[in-house]
């Protein structure tokens, strides 16, 4: 681990001195303007149990490499934002699991000030990826507007970050535990394009379709790359959500999942789970309720998203070699 990116004069906001430490491999890839795909660490530490988390992560990295890009796991270690971990470092994170605290964008400065570690959510991973010059990021599902948000105000910081940070996030939509119609409305308000990848329906994580229509469908990575470059031609543009449904053979049926989700939400309410603990609680509860089938779907969709993200990163590189 070495290679610290220095902010270039005239880039970033005034007084910006954030640093991202890059692994040798990621540093070399970025220096050569080769395609890189960011991967998040919250899913590793809080989204899936050990060893499924590590296996899924390894399979995602392999998928990225197979498609010709370099994977960059993003997280914070002892206060330092990092892009690119060695195998043993990633394994240590996966084993540490929930003892590594879940960190969103607002935590990045404090973790640095206190030399603490953090597993980065979609939001924090986007912020670090953008600072490092990584434009494409693969995850499972984004956070969004929670059910009951009118009462709890629980809306993921992922949405805010998508509105302002120029990274394409490839995800299987948003988790079905959320209020998906409100999540889509919020994305529209925030100016975030949602590109259906081979679909005209918003995916619901373990479920292929939510029944909610998408206006924009792209059928291959080249089409997505073209849309990204055109979008980023506008000064106020931020992130883009590329919505890739879970592979058919691992998908869970929508009608069956709805009652499982209702039961899990009721369990969360009964247990008094709130705030940032809600998502990890529901994910593990659902794994138990589906006898592990939600984990199979989760793994399959993460790997599929990693492959699609890599193809998009390669297409972006081909379309704009001097970016
Ligand atoms: N998708 C998964 N597993 C996860 C998450 C997403 O397959 O664990 C995480 C992501 O890191 C996302 C976070 O950013 O859940 C959202 O949490 P919250 O709702 O507290 O913002
Ligand atoms: Mn929340």
E strands along 201-289, which residues?
216-218, 240-243
Q: State in Å: Cα 26 to ligand 1 middle.
A: 24
Q: What is the pLDDT of residue 247?
A: 98
Q: How confident is the model at residue 15 (pLDDT cuts 50, 70, 90)?
A: low
The domains located in the chain, with CATH, are 4-319 (3.40.1790.10)
Decide whether any atom of ligand 1 lies within 6 Å of the 47 Cβ: yes
Q: What is the pLDDT of residue 323?
A: 45
Decide whether any atom of ligand 1 lies within 6 Å of the 46 Cβ: yes
Burial-class residue 215 by CB neighbours within 10 Å (0-12, 13-18, 19+).
exposed
**Segment 216-225, tens digit of pLDDT:** 999 999 999 9
CA torsion 135-73-47-150 (nearest 10°) is -30
* Average pLDDT value for residue range 177-190: 97
Among residues 45, 42, 26, the alpha carbon closest in space to that of 34 is found at: 26
Q: What is the pLDDT of residue 10?
A: 44
DSSP secondary structure letter of residue 12: S
Decide whether any atom of ligand 1 lies within 6 Å of the 158 Cβ: yes
Site of tokens 């939400």:
265
Alpha carbon 97 to its chain centroid, in Å, reads: 17
Among residues 170, 184, 177, 241, the alpha carbon closest in space to that of 207 is found at: 177
pLDDT over 90 at 193, yes or no:
yes
Q: State in Å: Cα 284 to ligand 1 middle.
A: 12
Q: pTM of the prediction?
A: 0.93
Lowest-pLDDT choice from 9-18, 49-58, 114-123:
9-18
Decide whether any atom of ligand 1 lies within 6 Å of the 139 Cβ: yes
Distance of alpha carbon 7 from alpha carbon 76, whole angstroms: 18
Q: How confident is the model at residue 7 (pLDDT cuts 50, 70, 90)?
A: very low
Pocket perturbation via mutation, ligand 1, pick of 122, 170, 278 by most ligand atoms within 8 A of CB: 122
Q: What is the pLDDT of residue 18?
A: 82
Site of tokens 């593990």:
284
**Segment 247-266, tens digit of pLDDT:** 999 999 999 899 999 999 99
Q: Tell me if residue 175 is catalytic.
A: yes
Lowest-pLDDT choice from 157-161, 191-195, 229-233, 319-323:
319-323
Pocket perturbation via mutation, ligand 1, pick of 124, 143, 275 by most ligand atoms within 8 A of CB: 143
Lowest-pLDDT choice from 40-54, 152-166, 308-322:
308-322
The answer for residues whose C-beta is within 8 angstroms of residue 280's C-beta and 6 or more apart is: 46, 47, 98, 102
User: Who has greater pLDDT, 28 or 47?
Assistant: 28
Ligand 1 atom nearest residue 42's Cα: 11
Q: Tell me if residue 8 is catalytic.
A: no
E strands along the chain, which residues?
20-22, 36-39, 70-77, 80-83, 102-103, 119-120, 136-138, 168-171, 194-197, 216-218, 240-243
Distance of alpha carbon 273 from alpha carbon 258, whole angstroms: 20
The answer for residues whose C-beta is within 8 angstroms of residue 44's C-beta and 6 or more apart is: 53, 54, 57, 73, 75, 90, 93, 94, 119
Ligand 1 atom nearest residue 146's Cα: 19
DSSP secondary structure letter of residue 13: S
């Amino acid at each position: 681990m070495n290679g610290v990116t220095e902010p270039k004069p005239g880039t970033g906001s005034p007084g910006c001195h954030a640093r991202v430490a890059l692994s040798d491999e990621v540093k070399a890839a970025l220096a050569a303007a080769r395609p890189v795909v960011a991967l998040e660490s919250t899913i590793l530490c809080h989204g899936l149990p050990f060893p499924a988390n590590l296996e899924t992560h390894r399979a995602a990295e392999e998928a990225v490499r197979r498609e010709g890009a370099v994977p960059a796991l993003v997280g914070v270690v002892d206060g330092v934002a990092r892009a690119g971990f060695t195998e043993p470092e990633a394994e240590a994170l996966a084993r540490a699991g929930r003892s590594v605290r879940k960190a969103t964008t607002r935590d990045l400065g404090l973790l640095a000030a206190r030399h603490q570690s953090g597993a980065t959510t979609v939001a924090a991973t986007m912020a670090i990826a953008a600072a490092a010059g990584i434009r494409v990021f693969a995850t499972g599902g984004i956070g969004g507007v929670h059910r009951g948000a009118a009462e709890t105000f629980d809306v993921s910081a992922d949405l805010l970050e998508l509105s302002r940070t120029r990274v394409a996030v490839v995800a299987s939509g948003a988790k079905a535990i959320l209020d998906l119609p409100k999540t889509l409305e919020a994305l529209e308000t925030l100016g975030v394009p949602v590109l259906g990848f081979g679909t005209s329906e918003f995916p619901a994580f373990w479920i292929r379709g939510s029944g909610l229509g998408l206006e924009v469908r792209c059928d291959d990575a080249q089409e997505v790359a073209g849309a990204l470059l055109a979008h980023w031609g506008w000064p106020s543009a931020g992130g883009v959500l590329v919505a890739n449904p879970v592979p058919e053979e691992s998908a869970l049926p929508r009608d069956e999942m709805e009652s499982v989700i209702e039961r899990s939400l009721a369990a969360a309410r009964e247990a008094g789970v709130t705030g940032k603990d809600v998502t990890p609680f529901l994910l593990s509860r659902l794994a138990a309720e589906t006898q592990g089938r939600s984990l199979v779907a989760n793994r399959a969709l993460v790997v599929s998203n990693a492959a699609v993200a890599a193809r998009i990163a390669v297409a972006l590189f081909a379309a704009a070699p001097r970016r």
